[in-house]
C-alpha cells in the first residue's frame, strides 16, 4: 500500500522518479548544498558542521512538523565497508510505526550497466531492501539521522550507510543528504523552494551554482 501510494505521488509530481531505480529520484528543480565545506576530513568539526547545516536545511524544508512525510530507505545487501549497522537508522522511528513500514527485498536498477550484444545499455540489478514509511516530522529523530549520515564516511559511530529520502506530499518538497559533503532539496517548481534558495544561497555548491541559478531567474 505505502509503496503504491509513494509511486503514485512520484508519477504525479516527479514523473521520472521510480522507486526501483534510486538514481532516478529527483525533481525538475533542485538545489545542492555544501555541508562539510573546507572543514578537514576525519574531524568532529566537519561532522558537526555537516550535521548543523543539514539540520537547518531540513527544518526549513519541512516547516510544519505535523505534516506526514514519506520516508524512502534503500538498504543495500552488499558488505558495508563502513561497518555501520542498519538497526541504528531503524531505531530513529517509533518502533510501533516502523513495524508497519513497507519493508521488502527487491531487485532494483543500479546506476551501473553494460552494453549487450545489440549495443543497448542494460542497467545492472541488485538486491536491495526497500523500506517506506509515512510519519509526522515531529516523531522522527532527524538530528540523529543526519548526524549518522555525516559520521559514516568519517569513520565515526554511530553511522548510517543506507540511502534515505524524505518527501512532503503537501508542499512537494524533498530532501536527501548523501554524506558529509552535501545534500539536495528539490521540487517540481522553483517557487516551492525559492525561500530556501534565497535564505541559504551562500551554502550552494559553487560548481553547480550556474545550473541552479537558472531555475530561479
Over 119-138, what HEC string results?
A: CCEEEEEEEEEEEEEEEEHH
Query: How far is it, in rounded angstroms, from Cα 40 to Cα 43?
Result: 6
Question: Which of 35, 50, 26, 66 shows the shortest CA–CA distance to 167?
Answer: 26
pLDDT at res. 125: 87
Q: 90: Cβ–Cβ under 8 A, 6 or more apart, which residues?
A: 98
Helix (H, G, I), strand (E, B) or coil at 167: strand
Helix (H, G, I), strand (E, B) or coil at 181: coil
Taking only Cα atoms into account, the Rg of the chain, rounded to an integer number of angstroms, comes to 17
Q: Is the pTM of this model over 0.75?
A: yes
Beta-carbon count within 10 A of 196 CB: 21
pLDDT at 120 over 70: yes
Query: How far is it, in rounded angstroms, from Cα 184 to Cα 86?
Result: 23
Average pLDDT, stretch 146-155? 94
Looking at per-residue confidence, does 200 or 79 come out higher? 200
Question: Which of 161, 164, 166, 129 shows the shortest CA–CA distance to 148?
Answer: 161
pLDDT at res. 119: 75
Average pLDDT, stretch 116-129? 81
pLDDT at 169 over 70: yes
Average pLDDT, stretch 192-206? 97
Helical H segments across 73-185, by residue range: 86-90, 95-98, 142-152
Query: How far is it, in rounded angstroms, from Cα 99 to Cα 94?
Result: 9
Phi, psi of 120 (to 5 degrees): -90, 145
Sign of the alpha-carbon dihedral angle for 144, 146, 149, 155: negative
DSSP 93: S
Cα–Cα distances in angstroms (integers) from residue 15 to residues 126, 184, 207, in the given order: 23, 18, 27
- pLDDT band at residue 113 using 50, 70 and 90 as cut-offs: low
Domains of the chain, residue spans: 2-215
- pLDDT band at residue 92 using 50, 70 and 90 as cut-offs: very high
Burial status of residue 93 (CB atoms within 10 A of its CB: 0-12, 13-18, 19 or more):
buried
- pLDDT band at residue 213 using 50, 70 and 90 as cut-offs: very high
pLDDT at 82 over 80: no
Q: Residues of the chain with pLDDT > 70: what percent?
A: 97
Mean confidence (pLDDT) of the chain: 94
Q: What is the pLDDT of residues 4-51, one digit of tens each?
A: 999 999 999 999 999 999 999 999 999 999 999 999 999 999 999 999
pLDDT at res. 59: 98
pLDDT at 81 over 70: no
Q: What is the pLDDT of residues 45-74, one digit of tens each?
A: 999 999 999 999 999 999 999 999 999 999
- pLDDT band at residue 115 using 50, 70 and 90 as cut-offs: confident
Query: How far is it, in rounded angstroms, from Cα 16 to Cα 144?
Result: 30
Amino acid at each position: 500500500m505505502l509503496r503504491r501510494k509513494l509511486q503514485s505521488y512520484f508519477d504525479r509530481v516527479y514523473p521520472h522518479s521510480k522507486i526501483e531505480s534510486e538514481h532516478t529520484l529527483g525533481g525538475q528543480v533542485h538545489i545542492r548544498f555544501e555541508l562539510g565545506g573546507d572543514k578537514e576530513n576525519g574531524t568532529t568539526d566537519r561532522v558537526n558542521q555537516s550535521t548543523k547545516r543539514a539540520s537547518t536545511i531540513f527544518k526549513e524544508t519541512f516547516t510544519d512538523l505535523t505534516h506526514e512525510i514519506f520516508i524512502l530507505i534503500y538498504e543495500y545487501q552488499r558488505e558495508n565497508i563502513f561497518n555501520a549497522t542498519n538497526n541504528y537508522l531503524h531505531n530513529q522511528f517509533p518502533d510501533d510505526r516502523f513495524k508497519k513500514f513497507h519493508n521488502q527485498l527487491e531487485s532494483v536498477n543500479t546506476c551501473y550497466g553494460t552494453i549487450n550484444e545489440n549495443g543497448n545499455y542494460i542497467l545492472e540489478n541488485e538486491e536491495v531492501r526497500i523500506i517506506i514509511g509515512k510519519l509526522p516530522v515531529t516523531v522522527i529523530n532527524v538530528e540523529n539521522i543526519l548526524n549518522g549520515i555525516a559520521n559514516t564516511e568519517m569513520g565515526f559511530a554511530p553511522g548510517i550507510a543506507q540511502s534515505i529520502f524524505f518527501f512532503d506530499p503537501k508542499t512537494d518538497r524533498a530532501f536527501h543528504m548523501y554524506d558529509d559533503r552535501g545534500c539536495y532539496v528539490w521540487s517540481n517548481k522553483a517557487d516551492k523552494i525559492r525561500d530556501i534558495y534565497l535564505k541559504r544561497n551562500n551554502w550552494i555548491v559553487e560548481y553547480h551554482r550556474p545550473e541552479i541559478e537558472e531555475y530561479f531567474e
